[in-house]
Amino acid sequence: MAGIPVLHCITGLNVGGAEYMLARFGAKLAQTHYDPSVLSLMSPGPIARDLQAANIDVATLQMNQSRPGPRALVRLRAIVRSSRPSLLHGWMYHGNVAASLGALLGERQPTIWSIHHSIANLASEKLLTRAVIRLSASLSHRTSAISYCSRVSADQHEALGFDPDKRRIIPNGVDCDQFRPRPDARRYLCDTLSVPTERFLVGNVARAHPMKDHGTFVRAIATLRSLGLDAHGILIGDGHENGIVRHLAAELGITPMITVSNARADIDRLMPGLDLFMLSSAWGEAFPLVVAEAMASGVPAIATDVGDCAWLLGDRQMVVEPENADGLAKLAASILCLSQSARRQLGERARRRVVERFSLRSYVDSHLALYDEILDQQATNAARQIGWQAPVNAARRMR
C-alpha cells in the first residue's frame, strides 16, 4: 500500500545543516507510512544524490535564487498537482513560502514550515532575505505548524510577527550510530589531512561564509599558540582555499598550523579524531547540527553564544560572546590543558547528552507525531463539515 505523500520544499540541496537534516529525515520517513518527495527551488546540489540513493524523487524549479519568475510558478503548480501531496513541508524561508504557495495552487493542503535560522539582528540579513522574512510573518497564521529547531529562534521570529500559536520546537537530530567515537579516528584524521599527530587538533566544519566568522576561529588558534599550546586549526568546508582563513593565517604567521579542506563525505570518520570542536559563528545559527555531531562523536565542544548553542552544550560555561577570539581561546585552553582522561570524560558526557536528547530517532518521531496530528485534525474538520464525527486516526486509515 502506498504511503501518504508528503512534498518537501527547500531552497536548494547544497551542503548545509538543514539540507543534511532533510536527507537523513527523508530516508527514515520513507520507511514509515509516509512517502516523501522533494522539490528544490534551485538546481539540486550534491545532497540530491543522498535523497535519490534513498529512492526519494527530487524535482526542481531551476529557479534563480534572487529572481523567481512566472515559469517557476507554473512549474510549482504542475509539480504539486501531479504529485498530489497530502501535506507540504517547507524548509527554510524560501522553501516555506514555496510550500504555502504550492498548497494555494494545489488543493489547499495543510502546510508545515521549518525554521533553521536565528535572527539576533535583522539588519545582518540580506535585503531579499529580510523581505522574505517579513512576508513569512504575514503568512505564518495560514500554516498548520511552524517547526523551529531552536527555542531562541522561535522567540526571535515571533518577535518579528510569526504566529506564536503555530510554534513547535523540534531540535535537530544526529544519527548516533554514524557519529560515534572511533578508535582509529585520530590516525585517520592525521593521515588524511597530513596533520601532525602530536598537536592539539581543534576543528570546525562549515562553508566559508561571513556568518561563520572563521576569522575569529583563526585568531583563537593564534592566541592558543601564544599561550604556549601547540594548537592546530582544521577547517573543513567549501570556499576556504582562497578565503579569509588563508590570508589571516599568513598575516598572523600561523599558516603551517592551519589546515583547510573542501567539504568531505567522511566527516563521521574525521570528527572523532579531534581534541576539541570550536564553533565561531557570529550570527544566524539556530541549533548547529555540526556541534551535535561532534558531541555524538565524543569530542568536547565549545561555541559562541548564538542560537541555542548553550542549550545544546548543556552548560553556559561552554559558550562565549560572538566575535570574541580571546574568550574562545581561553575557554579552549581550559579544556586542552586537562588530562587526556578528563577530556575523554567531557566527550563521553557530551555524547550522552546528544544520545538522550538530540538523536535522529527523536527527530523523526517528533515529526511523525506532528504529521499524524495535522492530518487527523484535517480529517476531523472535513468530517464535521458533513455532520459526521471522524474517529481518531481517521486520516491514516482513510489513505
Q: What are the tens digits of pLDDT across the range 323-336?
A: 999 999 999 999 99
Provide the 8-state DSSP code for 164: G
Q: Where are the domains of the chain?
A: 4-173+359-397, 185-357
Q: Counting every residue, how long is the chain? A: 399
DSSP letter string over 35-97?
EEEEEESSSP-THHHHHHHTT--EEE----TT---HHHHHHHHHHHHHH--SEEEEEHHHHHH
Query: Is-contact 148 154, C-beta < 8 A?
Result: yes
Number of alpha carbons in the 13 Å side-chain half-sphere of residue 63:
27
Residue from 253, 346, 247, 241 nearest 300 by CA:
346
Instruction: Name the CATH architecture for the domain at 185-357.
Output: 3-Layer(aba) Sandwich (3.40)
**Do 4-173+359-397 and 185-357 share a fold?**
yes
pLDDT per residue over 226-277, tens digit each? 999 999 999 999 999 888 999 999 999 999 999 999 999 999 999 999 999 9
pTM as predicted: 0.91
* Phi and psi torsions of 63, nearest 5°: -90, 140
Residue 212, CA atoms < 13 Å, CB-side half-sphere: 24
Report whether 40 contacts 62 (CB < 8 A): no
Q: Which CATH number is associated with domain 4-173+359-397?
A: 3.40.50.2000
Name the β-bridge partners of 35. Answer: 5
Q: What is the pLDDT along the chain (399 residues), one digit of tens a residue?
A: 579 999 999 999 998 889 999 999 999 999 999 999 999 999 999 999 999 999 999 999 998 765 677 889 999 999 999 999 999 999 999 999 999 999 999 889 999 999 999 998 998 888 989 999 999 999 999 999 999 999 999 999 999 999 999 999 999 999 999 999 999 999 999 999 999 999 999 999 999 999 999 999 999 999 999 999 999 999 999 999 888 999 999 999 999 999 999 999 999 999 999 999 999 999 999 999 999 999 999 999 999 999 999 999 999 999 999 999 999 999 999 999 999 999 999 999 999 999 999 999 999 999 999 999 999 999 888 777 776 554 555 444 434
